[in-house]
Amino acid sequence: MIRLILSIFTLALCALSAANSGVSPEIAVVVQADETFSPQAWQAMEAESKRIARQAGLRVRFVERAAASAQEFTDLVVFRMKGRCEMDTTPALLDERGPFAWAFTANGNVLPFGEVKCDRVRESIKTAFRPADYRKADALFGRALGRVVAHELYHMLANTTKHGKTGVARHAFSAQQLVAEKLDFGKHERGLLAGRPDFSR
Ligand SMILES: [Zn+2]
C-alpha cells in the first residue's frame, strides 16, 4: 500500500514538472479509496468539486487509482480517502473529532497529495440531516466530500496554507455548510486560483 502511494506520488511530482503550455489544463484528481465508496457519493463528489473548480476557471476530472496507471496526465493531485465513504443510518458518533481532510506540506510548500477522512465527514453531516435527507443520503455525503476536496485543492493549487474569509476556502465547515444547497469560493480565492502561475513552473 505504501509503495503504491509513493509510486503515484512520484508520478504526481513528475507530472508537475512536465512542460505545460495549455490554457486552463485539466487537473486529474486521482482518488484512492481505502474502503467502500458509494458510487452515488462518488458521482456527487465529482460533480460538486467540478462545479466549484469551474468558478475559478479550473477543469478537474476524477480518476480512480486503479485506472490511473493506464492514463497520462499533465496536472495531477492525489487524494487518499480513509474510512468508509458510504452513508449509513446509525446515529451520529458524536465523539468523532479532528479535521475532515488535509494536504501534505514540505519545506513550506503544499504538496499535491491529501487525505480525506470519510468517517469524520459522514458522522458530521448526520448531525445536520433531517429525516427526509436520508433518502438522498449518499448524494448529500458526496456533495460534502466534493466541498472538502475542493478546499484541499485550493491549498494545493494556490500553494498556500492560508484560509479565506468566506466560502469553500474557510478554515472550517459546519455540518450544515457541508450539505447546504450551495457553498462557493469567495471572490478573493477565485481570483487567486484563476491567476495562479502555471502549474508547471
Ligand atoms: Zn484548510
The C-alpha cell 504526481 sits at: 12
How many angstroms does the Cα of residue 158 sit away from the middle of ligand 1? 12
Where residue 139 falls (left for φ over 0; alpha for ψ -120 to 50; beta otherwise) is alpha
- The Cα–Cα gap between 177 and 125 comes to 9
The C-alpha cell 509503495 sits at: 3
pLDDT of residue 194: 84
Q: What's the mean pLDDT in 9-33? A: 63
| pLDDT tens sequence across 95-130 | 667 899 999 999 999 999 999 999 999 999 999 999
The domain ranges of the chain are: 2-16+28-192
- The topology (CATH level 3) of 2-16+28-192 is Collagenase (Catalytic Domain) (3.40.390)
How many angstroms does the Cα of residue 146 sit away from the middle of ligand 1? 14
> Which residues, in sequence order, are CB contacts of 55 under 8 Å at separation 6+?
184, 185, 190
User: Residue 69 in contact with residue 15, Cβ under 8 Å?
Assistant: no
pLDDT of residue 13: 44
How many angstroms does the Cα of residue 151 sit away from the middle of ligand 1? 6
For the whole model, what pTM was predicted? 0.86
Percent of the chain with pLDDT over 90: 74
pLDDT of residue 159: 95
How many angstroms does the Cα of residue 163 sit away from the middle of ligand 1? 6
